[in-house]
Chain A
Amino acid sequence: MLGLNKKDFSLLLFVAFLAIAAPFLLNPFPASSSLSFLNAGYPALMQLFAIFAIVLIGFNILFGLTGYLSFGHAAFIGIGSYTAMWMYKLLNFNVIIAIPMAMLVTGIFALLIGWISLRRTGIYFSILTLAFAEMAYRLSYSVLTPITGGETNLSPDPVNDPMVLKSEGGLTVPHLFGFDLNAKTTWEVGSWSFTFEAGYYLCALILIISFYIAIRIFRSPFGMMLRAIKSNNQRMSYTGLNTKPYMLAAFVISGVYAGLAGGLLVAMDAQAGAERMFWTESGTIVIMAILGGVGTLLGPILGAGAIKYMEKILSSISESQLHTWLGILPDWLEDAMVYILANFFVGHAWHLTLGLVFMLVVIFVPGGLVELGQRIGNRFRRKKPDTAPSGETTPAE
């Protein structure tokens, strides 16, 4: 179906299901319960899940297939964001212009940066990409301030911006052919409340399409060439294959995915700042990929979700929250626990939790969350007689 084999098609359906049902799946706790805090099913966070899943799907085409570790991918998110923003300012707020332009412009930058960085391999390649991203970050706070807004960030100014394609009285918020992306409906079911937002569903749709394209790339001859480059670059050359354009194509595709994500960020919230390009952002992308499972189709999406969830939920847990939860403990223990958790694991200290989780995964399940899932799955399946391994010549999903 859709040019995919059964296994890949069910994987696509699975991701589509997750994306479409997210408002339910991520809202398991009733609004009134004390755990409603852990709910992630609100539009702003679901958008981030979808958008970073797209970044990671693209990043995985480069890192997962070719093994080339880009340490500057956040720059492409930034470039995509600024481009989309300038489309608002110059033309209008229709994301049908802003998002494709974000992809196009990011693609051109990726071509340039890739062309230079790919002159080196291994750690030198990574450092070159890091250097470019750092340059982009620094420049947007200095000479590029007229384009990037510098410290004040870039946002549309309906009074002074040209907006030449905007009709009289046209929308001054991101829209799709006049349909406001902020439009929401809320369902109250018992004490649960589910919010459906147009913007999130645009992200979800684009995520599903992005994932579909990624599967096609993984299973294509091109994808096989990329895996072969990772496996034995020298043999590739002596087999008559020019690895440069293959690598460059992979780099540009992966950059365009990040540019698309940058455009989507601006489609959801009309502002763009350089902090999106800071090197820690690039580092987070790498960590997401490894945490989820490098080179697997599903892993990067899980990694992106897991880290964004921790970032938003763990970091927002406050001391008073902890006191409520741990109220049943004896006072001295409650205070001690709250002290430890608040200072080392949640709130501002959530990075430590991330670090611990990351270490545990890398040491005990190097294949990431996907491997963890497979191991748990095997544990359950062990009871049945072993199903014959499939003879397909496909890599693990």
Chain B
Amino acid sequence: MGILEVKGVNKRFGGLQALGDVNLSVEENTVHAIIGPNGAGKSTLLNCFVGKLIPDSGSVMFDGQSVLGRKPYEINQMGISRVFQTPEIFTDLTVLENVMIPCFAKRDGAFRMHAIEHVGSEAAIREQAEQMLDDVSMLDKRHMDASSLSRGDKRRLEMAMCLVQDPKLLLLDEPTAGMARADTNNTIDLLKEIKDKRDITMAIIEHDMHVVFSMAERITVLAQGTPLVEDTPDNIKGHPKVREAYLGEAQV
């Protein structure tokens, strides 16, 4: 049993079958990549994991419980954190505040009326957030406004916000999309570092083969909404079906 079990998931948008009978199992403590050409349904699939979309049929079980019909915040409270294709952070807040908020969410749950105590008196939360920022080498930027960060740092911050919750599953939707090579390499290094430092399960959607082959342990290839194959990176590389799906794409 994987920590995330996807069975027979279908999703239609009008006449378009975005997902057709998707089965997928993500094992604990592995990095599982989902790859496929543009429009293959990768984001749609991921949105079904986090409560943004509800599949027409099928089941999505996380840690033995169904996530279907739950709100995004409930699914996060179950232990799934998500990194977006373009970093979603609190741009009007400081870097430190950005990381403190997920700490509060983890400690106090989805809602708590703590309106009278001073944020400054939450020493434990602050320490936890600073420790996390130190881990991603951003401690010196903690008093900056998040909006003034560089693109790469915004991504770093978003990862810190997810990781500080110590999620059981971290979902990443094209974390390097639109990045320059140098930034991409930085992100890969960061992800590997994270992977080495702690036990974490990651499901990563990627378009960039370089990223995928440098860190994934399992790969699922999605084409036209259906998984073609699932295997180790080495086996995927030479797989004829994968070549076929990616025909005309230079990266393979």
- List A residues at the B interface (Cβ < 8 Å): 3-5, 216-217, 219-225, 227-228, 230-232, 234-243, 245-246, 249, 253, 391, 393
Contact = CB atoms under 8 A, between A and B. Distances in A.
Interface in B97-112: 97, 100-102, 104-106, 109-112
A241 B73 contact: yes
A391 B143 contact: yes
Contacts of B91: 231-232
Contacts of B165: 239-240
24 contacts: A3-B121, A217-B116, A221-B112, A221-B119, A223-B115, A223-B119, A224-B97, A230-B92, A231-B90, A231-B93, A232-B91, A235-B89, A237-B76, A238-B88, A239-B73, A240-B76, A240-B105, A241-B101, A241-B105, A241-B110, A243-B73, A245-B111, A391-B143, A393-B143
Contact of A239 (B102, B112, B116, B143): B102
Contacts of B97: 224, 228, 393
B54 to A, nearest CB: 15
B118 A232 contact: no
Interface string B66-97: 00000111001100011010001111111011
Given A238-B76, A238-B88, A393-B96, A222 B120 contact: no
B196 interface: no
B81 A225 contact: no
Given A239-B73, A245-B111, 13 more contacts: A5-B118, A220-B114, A221-B104, A224-B100, A231-B90, A232-B88, A234-B88, A238-B84, A239-B105, A240-B109, A242-B111, A391-B143, A393-B119
B249 interface: no
Nearest to B72: A237
Which 6 A/B pairs are nearest by Cβ-Cβ distance? A240-B76, A222-B115, A242-B110, A240-B105, A231-B92, A231-B90
Contact of A224 (B93, B121, B143): B93
Given A219-B120, A228-B90, A234-B88, A240 B115 contact: no
Contacts of B117: 3, 220-221
B88 A237 contact: no
Residue of B81, B88, B91 most packed against chain A (CB within 10 A): B88
A222 B105 CA distance: 11
Nearest to A67: B92
B222 interface: no
Contacts of B180: none
A110 to B, nearest CB: 15
B81 A221 contact: no
Given A237-B73, A238-B50, A222 B101 contact: no
B113 A235 contact: no
A224 B114 CA distance: 10
B88 A246 contact: no
Contacts of A241: 73, 101, 104-105, 110-111
B122 interface: yes
Interface of B: 50, 71-73, 76-77, 81-82, 84, 88-94, 96-97, 100-102, 104-106, 109-122, 143, 161, 165
A229 B110 CA distance: 13
Contacts of B121: 3
B50 A249 contact: no
Residue of B106, B110, B122 most packed against chain A (CB within 10 A): B110
A234 B50 CA distance: 12
Given A224-B93, A231-B91, A219 B118 contact: yes
A93 to B, nearest CB: 32
A225 B101 contact: yes
Residue of B88, B92, B113, B115 most packed against chain A (CB within 10 A): B115
Contacts of B100: 224
A5 B120 CA distance: 9
Contacts of A224: 93, 97, 100-101, 119
Contacts of A225: 101, 104
Given A237-B71, A238-B72, A240-B110, A228 B101 contact: yes
Contacts of A238: 50, 72-73, 76, 81-82, 84, 88
Contacts of B101: 224-225, 228, 236, 239, 241
A219 B112 CA distance: 15
Residue of B92, B101, B165 most packed against chain A (CB within 10 A): B101
Contact of A240 (B96, B102, B114, B122): B102
Contacts of A249: 113, 115
A393 B81 CA distance: 25
B138 to A, nearest CB: 15
Nearest to B82: A238
A240 B109 CA distance: 7
Contact of A232 (B77, B81, B89): B89
A237 B84 CA distance: 13
Contacts of A223: 115, 119
Given A245-B111, A393-B97, A239 B76 contact: yes
Contacts of A228: 90, 93, 97, 101
Contacts of A217: 115-116
Nearest to A5: B120
A235 B88 contact: yes
A304 B71 CA distance: 40
